[in-house]
Structure 1
Amino acid sequence: MARMVTIFTGQWADLPFETMCKTVSEMGYDGVEIACWGDHMNVEKAAKDPSYVAEKLAVLKKYNLGCYALGNHLAGQCVGDAFGDPRLAGFAPKNLAGNDKAIREWGIQQMKYTAQAAKNMGCKVVTGFMGSPIWKYFYSFPANSAKLIEDGYQEIYDLWTPILDEFDKAGVTFALEVHPSEIAYDYYSTLKLLEVFKGRKTLGLNFDPSHLQWQGVDPALFFRDFASSIYHVHIKDSVVKLDGRSGILGSHLAFGDLRRGWNFVSPGHGDVNFDMIIREANAAGYHGPLSVEWEDNGMDRLFGAKEALELVRKIDFEPSNVDFDGAMEN
C-alpha cells in the first residue's frame, strides 16, 4: 500500500494555517507535518485547550488532510545550544532576547507541551532538533579534548531526559532530524547519540537525506544501518557543485547563491538517489509518511511543491511479493 505523502509546513508559516491547508489539499497532498510556529500550531494551547485542538482538526477535516507529525525544530534548538548564540532570540519570544537561561527554559517547556499537543492532535511522532553545545567544535582547532566532546553529549542527555519522560507519558516519540548544528549531524555522531541514550526507544530519527548527501554520507546506507530508529522520513534534496572555487562549508554565502559549493534543491533536482531510499524503506518495513520538506531558493515554491508531490507518487513503489527468477522452472 502506498505511503501517505505529506508536506512540512515550516517553510510555509508565512501563510495562515487554513490557507496552507487549502493550498496543499488542492495540490493533492494526503496530509501535513505541522510546524509549531507561526499560527500553524501553538503547542501550549494544543496541550491545554481542547477547543483549540478541535479548531485545528476541523480545518484538517475540511480539506481532507491528515496530521501525521508535529515539527518543533525551533524550540528544540533552544534546549541544547550553547549559551551566547544571539540567533536563538529569533526562535524564542522577543522579551527573552539576551537571556540565555530563560530561552533554554522556554525551549524545555515548549518541548514538554509539544508531547501533549501531539497526543491531543492524534500524532505519534514529533520531529525536531535538539541543539548542540559542541557543534561549534566540529573542527578540532584549537584541539578538542575527548572530555570536551563527552561533556557535550552528557549535557544533551541531562537536558533532554526530562523532556523525553514527558513524551513517554504522552505515548509519543521524538524523531531528531540529523542535521548540521545538531548533536547528531552525520553517521558517527548519530551512533554516539543513540549510545549515550542507551537505545531509549522514545528517541528516534527523522531521516532527511539532503543533510547527509552534501556531507558525503550515503543516505541509503544510513537508512539501512539506522532503520530501527527511523520514525519519520523527509523527502528533501541537495546538490553539490564544486567548481574549484567553492568549498563544501558554504563560504558564508546565502542558500540559493549559485556560487555555493552545495544547495538545497527541489526533490528530483539534486544528487539524492530516492530510488535506493525507497528500497531501503521497503526492506525496513517503514510504513510511515513521506513528508516533503520543500526548500529551493531558485524555484517558485508552488510549482516546486506540486512537482515534488508528483515525484513522490512516482517513486513510492511497493516491494515485490515474488522472486523474479522463481518462475524460471520447467
Structure 2
Amino acid sequence: MKTIKGPAVFLAQFVDSKAPFNSLDGMCQWAADLGYKGIQIPTWESFLIDLDKAAESQTYCDELKGKVNSYGLEITELSTHLQGQLVAVHPAFDIMFDGFAPNHVRNNPKARTEWAVDVVKKAGTASRRLGITAHATFSGSLLWHTSYPWPQRPPGLVDMGFEELAKRWKPILDHFDEEGVDVCYEIHPGEDLHDGDTFERFLKATGNHKRVNLLYDPSHFVLQQLDYLAYIDFYHEFIKSFHVKDSEFNPTGKKGVYGGYNDWENRAGRFRSLGDGQIDFKTIFSKLTQYGCDVWAVMEWECCIKSPEQGAREGAIFIQDHIIEATQRTFDDFAGGETDKEVLKNILGI
C-alpha cells in the first residue's frame, strides 16, 4: 500500500487576467495559502511555463522548480491536454479545434498535427528536466463521430482508426520512454480513449507500449454510466495520475447521457465541486491506496453552480480529509507470535 500525495490543484480552470491568477508567483501563493501542496501546470499558458525553454535548458527548469518549491509546493505533472487533442483531429472538428493551435498552423491540419506532436515531445523532455515521471494529456480522436453508429460502421473501421492513432502517438511514446516519463491519458468522452475497452484497444495497437498509462478521473465515468470503482480494479496498474473531480447524473423523461444539447446546468450529467456530487471518493481513495497507486490527488475544478473560489477553498480540505495514511502493520499483529512449524502441524492435525 502507498499513501496518496496531495492535495494538489490543476491550475487551468483558474487562470485569469487579474491577480493573483495572471502570474506563476501569484498562483503559487494562492494555492499555498489554501493548503495545497502541489500544482499541475497547463503548458499552453506561457506565463506559467515556457515549454521551449524548459525543453532546452536545465537551468531554466531548475529555476522554475525552485520558484514553485519556494512556496512549499511541488509540480505534480505538466499537462498537454489541448496539444494532445490536436495529435488526432477528425476533419469535422477542424474549425473548433483550430482555436487550440497557434495562428501559423491553423487551417492546415497536417502542420497542426506536426506542431502538436512536437509540443507534446517537448513536454516529455521538460518533465524529465523537472524531475517529474508522469504527464497528463488527451489522446485526440479520429473515431468519436462513429461512437453511436448510425449508419453502421463498416467492418475494419475501428481497427484502422486505432492503428492510425497508435501510429501518431508511437513516436511520442518512444520519446517519453527515452525521457523516463509515463504518458497518462485522461479517459474522456470526445476522445478515442473514453472507457476501458477503448484504452485496451489503443494499448494493443501500440504493442503494449510501457509508457501508455492512465489519468483517472471518475467524473467522466459517472456521466457515461460506467462503474468507476470496478475500473480501478481492472486498471490500477496503469493509473499514474489522478484528477479529483465530482459529478452527478440525474436523468429525466426528457434527457439522459447525451444531454439534449443543453448548457451544463440543464444537463442530466453535470460536473460539481468536490463533495457536492454523487461520487464515492472514500472508496476511490481506499482502492487507490490499497493498490499502491503512486499518484498525486489533483483537484480539477469544474462546476456549473459553485464559484471557483469556493470550490478551491473547499477542495484542499476535502482532499486532505480523504487521503489515507497507509498502514505499515496489520491491526491484529499484537496477537501473533513466532512461527513454529511443529505448532503449525499440530494446528492442522498432521
**TM-score normalised by the shorter chain: which range applies?**
over 0.9
Contact residue 10 and residue 37 of structure 1 kept, 8 A: no
Q: Distance in 1 between matches of 2:292 and 2:140?
A: 29
Code of the aligned partner of 2:85: Q
Deviation for aligned residue 1:248 = 1.4
Larger radius of gyration: 2
Deviation for aligned residue 1:313 = 1.0
Find 1:287's aligned residue among 278, 282, 294.
294
Aligned alpha-carbon RMSD (Å)? 1.9
TM normalised by structure 1 equals 0.93
Deviation for aligned residue 1:310 = 0.7
Q: Deviations over 1:214-239 (max 9, x none)?
A: 21111111011101111111101111
How many residues align? The count is: 326
Matched, 1:277 2:279: no
* Residue ranges of structure 1 left out of the alignment (5+ in a row): none
Which residue matches 1:308?
315
Q: Which has the higher contact order (CA 8 A, sep 6+)?
A: 2
Deviation for aligned residue 1:302 = 1.5
Matched, 1:43 2:47: no
Code of the aligned partner of 1:37: W
Contact residue 13 and residue 37 of structure 1 kept, 8 A: no
Matched, 1:182 2:191: yes
User: 3-state SS of the aligned residue for 1:251?
Assistant: helix
Q: Deviations over 1:275-302 (max 9, x none)?
A: 1111211221113211111111311112
Which residue matches 1:7?
9
Matched, 1:262 2:269: yes
Matched, 1:139 2:148: yes
Q: Distance in 2 between matches of 1:12 and 1:252?
A: 26
Q: Distance in 2 between matches of 1:284 and 1:56?
A: 33
Find 2:118's aligned residue among 109, 112, 117.
109
Deviation for aligned residue 1:145 = 2.0
Within-5 A mapping of 1:7-86: 7-14=9-16, 15=21, 16-38=23-45, 39-84=47-92, 85-86=94-95
Which residue matches 1:249?
258
Which deviates further from its counterpart, 2-11 or 178-187? 2-11
Code of the aligned partner of 1:9: L
How many percent identity over aligned positions?
29
Which deviates further from its counterpart, 126-135 or 239-248? 239-248
Matched, 1:94 2:103: yes
Code of the aligned partner of 1:151: M
Within-5 A mapping of 1:137-216: 137-216=146-225
Which residue matches 2:342?
none
Q: Distance in 1 between matches of 2:277 and 2:315?
A: 12
User: 3-state SS of the aligned residue for 2:142?
Assistant: coil
Deviation for aligned residue 1:77 = 0.3
Deviation for aligned residue 1:49 = 2.9
Deviation for aligned residue 1:308 = 1.2
Deviation for aligned residue 1:322 = 2.5
Contact residue 127 and residue 174 of structure 1 kept, 8 A: yes
Deviation for aligned residue 1:327 = 6.0
Poorly superposed stretches of 4+, deviation over 4 Å? 323-328
TM normalised by structure 2 equals 0.88
* Residue ranges of structure 2 left out of the alignment (5+ in a row): 337-350
Contact residue 167 and residue 206 of structure 2 kept, 8 A: no
Contact residue 13 and residue 35 of structure 1 kept, 8 A: no
Matched, 1:239 2:248: yes
Q: Distance in 1 between matches of 2:216 and 2:146?
A: 24
Contact residue 4 and residue 289 of structure 2 kept, 8 A: no
Q: Distance in 1 between matches of 2:243 and 2:112?
A: 28
Q: Deviations over 1:248-274 (max 9, x none)?
A: 11222232x2x2111111111111111
Deviation for aligned residue 1:326 = 8.5
User: 3-state SS of the aligned residue for 1:318?
Assistant: coil
Code of the aligned partner of 1:64: G
Contact residue 13 and residue 40 of structure 1 kept, 8 A: no
User: 3-state SS of the aligned residue for 2:259?
Assistant: coil
Q: Distance in 2 between matches of 1:326 and 1:214?
A: 45
User: 3-state SS of the aligned residue for 2:261?
Assistant: coil
Deviation for aligned residue 1:20 = 1.3
